Amino acid sequence: MKRLDQVLANDGVGAELELVIKDVMVACKDIAYKLAQGELAGILGATEDENVQGETQKKLDVISNDLLKDILIANPYVRGIGSEEEDYTVAGNAGGKYLVTFDPLDGSSNIDVNLSVGTIFSVLEAQDDQSGDNQEVFLQNGRKQVAAGYVLYGPSALLVMTTGNGVNFFTLDRNIGEFVLTKSNIQIPEDTAEFAINMSNQRFWEPEMKQYIDDCLAGEEGPLGKRYNMRWVASMVAEVHRILVRGGIFMYPYDSRDPSKAGKLRLMYEGNPMSMIVEQAGGASSTGRIDIMDVEPKGIHDRVPVVLGSKNEVAKVVAYHSK
């Protein structure tokens, strides 16, 4: 089986970008180990602090963020980093070529109940000579990403990644401490009868999303003409991974609880990297109105509605919004 570095070399990934990705994996291996230890490692429970998103931080949120931040800002090829857990971007090496954004622990509400969580990351090229602590250098749309991926911490630790040449699965071989290729050229089925959405928010959705879900629930007798299954894990990494394995559609749409926010999920840390992965696997991603990776960010913590997964099902949701 090929190791991650061998696959990157075969794909023509340069040595500088390879080193950035390898450092992300060093941190992720440590996170995987701490998660496997659970309460033995003292990682369960919450802190008394809130992050910039106004969310109470779990202990492992902070640990994971510090692991990624410390290793990446020491990397000679990283100009700066942006984290969901940090108020501002953080400068790295002034001569670095790359910018890295990440959600250090997606789905952290699942930690204490021992369900799947993950780390999401994205790599951009720095476009000018400004310092990495200037958020302006990060404000590029998702089409500018040179790599994106996530690590799913489940029964096994899985890296799912693209450098713009398709999507591959790598499994952490704990015997050698390396991620090795286990599936290549992942393709999402174009059609599906499975959707994932938090139904408890239904009363806050726009009419178009309400109508689409109502039509899904109507089954064979409804306008969509088939019976749908619903799933919800409360971890975007787990939701997207299921789609990559067997198809489906994941939605976290706009809702009216806070009209000042376009959506729940962060564009730079979740929307863009997951959209790159899904599109590289033959799926589609949208806000319901435009492709997520075409959204021009105004700030490092911008939020966006998310609809992604099997291509034909995403098209149906977009059609509801364009009526």
Give this prediction's pTM: 0.94
Q: Is 4 labeled as ligand-binding?
A: no
Q: Is 105 labeled as ligand-binding?
A: yes
The whole-angstrom separation of Cα 135 and Cα 315 is 33
Residue 108 has pLDDT above 80, yes or no: no
> Can you read off the two tokens belonging to residue 100?
């890295």
> What pLDDT band is residue 200 in, cutting at 50, 70 and 90?
very high
pLDDT, tens digit (0-9, with 9 covering 90-100), for 274-309: 999 999 999 999 999 999 999 999 999 999 999 999
- Domains 4-183 and 194-322 alike in fold: no
Q: Is 272 labeled as ligand-binding?
A: no
Q: Is 70 labeled as ligand-binding?
A: no
List residues bridging with 13 in a β-sheet: none
> What pLDDT band is residue 46 in, cutting at 50, 70 and 90?
low
Q: Is 108 labeled as ligand-binding?
A: yes
Check residue 61 and give its pLDDT: 86
Residue 240's closest CA among 202, 163, 186, 166? Answer: 186
Do the beta carbons of residue 312 and residue 194 sit within 8 Å? no
Residue 191's closest CA among 294, 315, 299? Answer: 315
The whole-angstrom separation of Cα 75 and Cα 72 is 5
CATH, domain range 4-183: 3.30.540.10
Instruction: Give percent of the chain above pLDDT 70.
Output: 94
Check residue 45 and give its pLDDT: 62
- pLDDT, mean of residues 167-187: 97
Q: Topology of domain 194-322, per CATH?
A: D-Maltodextrin-Binding Protein; domain 2 (3.40.190)
Residue 28 has pLDDT above 70, yes or no: yes
> What pLDDT band is residue 6 in, cutting at 50, 70 and 90?
very high
> What pLDDT band is residue 258 in, cutting at 50, 70 and 90?
confident
pLDDT averaged over every residue in the chain: 93
Q: Is 184 labeled as ligand-binding?
A: no
Return all residues near 54 (Cβ < 8 A) that are at least 6 apart: none
Residue 60 has pLDDT above 90, yes or no: no
Do the beta carbons of residue 85 and residue 252 sit within 8 Å? no
Residue 192 has pLDDT above 60, yes or no: yes
| Between residues 33 and 37, the one the model is more confident about | 33
Residue 55 has pLDDT above 70, yes or no: no
pLDDT, tens digit (0-9, with 9 covering 90-100), for 128-170: 889 999 999 999 999 999 999 999 999 999 999 999 999 999 9
Domain ranges of the chain: 4-183, 194-322
The whole-angstrom separation of Cα 309 and Cα 286 is 9
Q: Is 17 labeled as ligand-binding?
A: no
Q: DSSP of 208-277, one letter per residue?
A: HHHHHHHHHHTGGGSTT-S--EEE--S-HHHHHHHHHHH--EEEE--BTTSTTSS-SEEIIIIIHHHHHH
The whole-angstrom separation of Cα 157 and Cα 280 is 21
Q: Is 198 labeled as ligand-binding?
A: yes
The whole-angstrom separation of Cα 140 and Cα 5 is 27
Q: Is 67 labeled as ligand-binding?
A: no
Farthest CA pair distance, the chain: 61
- pLDDT, mean of residues 200-206: 95
Check residue 107 and give its pLDDT: 84
Instruction: Give percent of the chain above pLDDT 90.
Output: 83
| Between residues 54 and 104, the one the model is more confident about | 104
> What pLDDT band is residue 74 in, cutting at 50, 70 and 90?
very high
Check residue 50 and give its pLDDT: 55
Residue position matching structure tokens 């992604």: 308
Half-sphere CA count of 301, side-chain side, radius 13 A: 13
Q: Is 110 labeled as ligand-binding?
A: no
